[in-house]
Chains A and B, each alone.
Chain A
């Protein structure tokens, strides 16, 4: 006989049926759905965002490097090779022409290229998300 403190035993029930499926096979049958992955912030979604961020940052850094070389090298160039600074184009000294006039269209052109390419990166990302 059992101790009085023992909880009353339930009658042995009919064992419940458990359906066992291979998790992997279920996952692989479901297509990857980027929108859901992003909204639920799964590992896949995280990889997608990291890819977009990396692409946008690489684009920005490449164009910034172009400005750093195009404009940033000028003071050093004029200091190392003063003769370059004495070159005259249409009656105007080269440093005046470059800094007073051409620097601005150069900056706007870089900005225009960036805007176009950054929007293209975003379009590619959106297509990836929307096609699912």
Chain B
């Protein structure tokens, strides 16, 4: 794959700056409270940029463009949902959660409902969701470093895991805040700046049709080198020049790819003439311009179910991601938490205008990715493929730096929250030493998983993490904040049934048998049935156990919903840190 010579230096630079900023921050971090919530003294604008930086992961920076290139307009629901999740957080959670004063999700569960066992269950879900989301970050890092340097897959995964774990263990969240804020602006620059050049180039190029009536074709003579063995589907017979092995025979010269499936071995180069249709990697349907442009291409009601399930998972799942919530404790009060969330929403909206442009132009300038199946790399290779020359190489270095920033920042945020929960609830009692030890464990487990499952689909795993969060913590937070009738048994039942259902769907989707039809749709996007199931279970079981409603629920509601400026003096309830 043709990539920029500036990519590797850019990646190294990003890692060095990350470590440098966090070293500056370490001098400020002294106590456990510094480590975990940065002492709640970070201004809304810093905090908002940090939240945005932490949230924009591999799925946002690389995945969306790749999905748009493959599937068209339907997958734009991913970025819309990723942003809308912050609106749901703003409307239902932000200010009351900050006022509750709890540090983590298990803290909230215990303080609101007064049950140690519920706390343990919430801890298990935080760790599961955190690791489920960390695996694709390490995987994405491995694939990116492999794409830009040709290094083996494990190198990138290990490098990112080491940088992030070392950083978190030494600096905690104070330094992470500075790092994350820096990385938001880096990511926005890295994705937005090249778009201007790409669009200018497209205009100067005579505006080639973005969605021609035919299936994607090579605009000019194109040499495709195959890095991993692939099976491709050829639509019409095409005469190409092959060097390497096709259909288990060695070829060196002109060869006609007949219509149907062909296996191409690693290390083979295939040169296509101008105008030849692009073969598609097995499993990806070749869409002509019209069906790529139009929503819900096929599958009828199943596709519609998938779209709505995705909307529900992303809109409601964001509030249940552990690394998102921990940020709210760094706001000084509930009003600041609200204003911070609004700024985050605007920052995310600004970012999400750009990735789709790469996916659209990728079909024109880098259609070979549809053949190799590396559509996730479209953001990385498009500047070089479209612009060429020194400009393409420099911009290629910039996007590589942005992608690496995406892995570093999301993985850091996840690691801080998983390590925080592990250090206070499982491995120790929350001292700085415990936190460092927990950070090591929190980083090593998903790294081991990521090294095992290099073939897993990155964007699918991210979607499943959202579905689990939406089916477990979303009902716990929304009902816990707004409904006095919630009981500990009701909450535990809802977590176990709704969250358990979503977790089962994840395990079947990742490791179970291949499904087709409705079962496949229900397992691939479980949110549309698991979220209502979780809410219904929590409400029903709570109504049946009303004698267990905590006696202090009135004081809790008062604390969560009244402005701090009133300085109401309450007899101090146990369990509520102030």
Partner-B contacts on A (CB < 8 A): 35, 38-39, 41, 45-46, 49-50, 52-53, 56-57, 60, 63-64, 67, 71-72, 75-76, 78-79, 82, 85-86, 93, 95-96, 99-101, 103-105, 107-108, 110-112, 114-115, 118-119, 122, 125-126, 129-130
Contacts and interface: CB of A to CB of B under 8 A. Distances in A.
A58 to B, nearest CB: 11
Given A75-B295, A85-B294, A126-B563, A99 B80 contact: yes
Contact of B342 (A50, A85, A115, A129): A115
7 contacts: A35-B566, A45-B558, A53-B561, A96-B356, A114-B91, A115-B342, A126-B565
A53 to B, nearest CB: 5
A96 B356 CA distance: 10
Contacts of A82: 294
A6 B73 CA distance: 97
Chain B interface main SS type: helix
Contacts of A78: 294-296
Given A71-B84, A114-B91, A41 B558 contact: yes
Contacts of B558: 38, 41, 45, 49
B554 A108 contact: no
B76 A96 contact: yes
A117 to B, nearest CB: 11
Contacts of A99: 73, 76-77, 80
Contacts of A119: 335, 338
Interface in B71-87: 73, 76-77, 80, 83-84, 86-87
B304 interface: yes
Majority SS at the chain A contact face: helix
Contacts of B554: 41, 46, 49
B352 interface: yes
- Chain B contact residues (Cβ within 8 angstroms of A): what range? 35 or more
B166 interface: no
A101 B160 CA distance: 33
Nearest to B560: A53
A35 B568 contact: yes
A35 B563 CA distance: 13
B297 to A, nearest CB: 11
Interface of B: 73, 76-77, 80, 83-84, 86-88, 90-92, 95, 293-296, 304, 307-308, 311, 335, 338-339, 341-342, 345-346, 348-350, 352-353, 356, 482, 554-555, 557-558, 561-563, 565-566, 568-570
A67 B85 CA distance: 11
Contacts of A125: 562-563
A111 B304 CA distance: 27
Nearest to B348: A104
Contacts of B73: 93, 95-96, 99-100
A64 B91 contact: yes
Nearest to B303: A79
B550 to A, nearest CB: 14
A67 B566 contact: no
A52 B562 CA distance: 8
Nearest to A54: B482
A120 to B, nearest CB: 12
Contact of A111 (B90, B95, B350): B90
Given A75-B307, A107-B83, A118 B349 contact: no
Nearest to A78: B295
Given A49-B558, A49-B562, A99-B73, A108 B570 contact: no
A27 B76 CA distance: 62
A126 B567 CA distance: 10
A38 B562 contact: yes
A99 B307 CA distance: 13
Nearest to B96: A56
Most B Cβ at <10 Å: residue of A64, A86, A115, A125:
A115
Given A38-B558, A41-B555, A104 B353 contact: yes
Contacts of A56: 561
Given A41-B554, A71-B84, A101-B353, A111 B345 contact: yes
A100 B351 CA distance: 11
A103 to B, nearest CB: 5
A39 B353 contact: no
Given A53-B561, A95-B73, A99-B73, 16 more contacts: A39-B568, A53-B482, A64-B88, A71-B84, A75-B296, A75-B304, A78-B296, A86-B294, A99-B77, A107-B80, A107-B84, A107-B87, A111-B91, A111-B342, A114-B90, A114-B91
Given A35-B568, A49-B558, A111 B293 contact: no
A132 to B, nearest CB: 12
Contacts of A49: 554, 557-558, 561-562
Contacts of A45: 558
B359 to A, nearest CB: 10
A100 B353 contact: yes
A113 to B, nearest CB: 10
A119 B335 CA distance: 8
Contacts of A46: 554
A70 to B, nearest CB: 11
A32 B377 CA distance: 67
Contacts of A115: 90, 338-339, 342
Given A96-B76, A125-B563, A85 B295 contact: yes
Contacts of B338: 115, 118-119
Nearest to A101: B353
A49 B563 CA distance: 11
B60 to A, nearest CB: 13
A35 B558 CA distance: 12
Nearest to A110: B87
A54 B296 CA distance: 39
Contact of B349 (A38, A67, A108, A114): A108
B306 to A, nearest CB: 10
Contacts of B349: 104-105, 107-108
Most buried by B among A50, A57, A100, A105: A100
Contacts of B304: 75-76, 79
Nearest to A72: B311
Nearest to B77: A99
Contacts of A39: 568-570
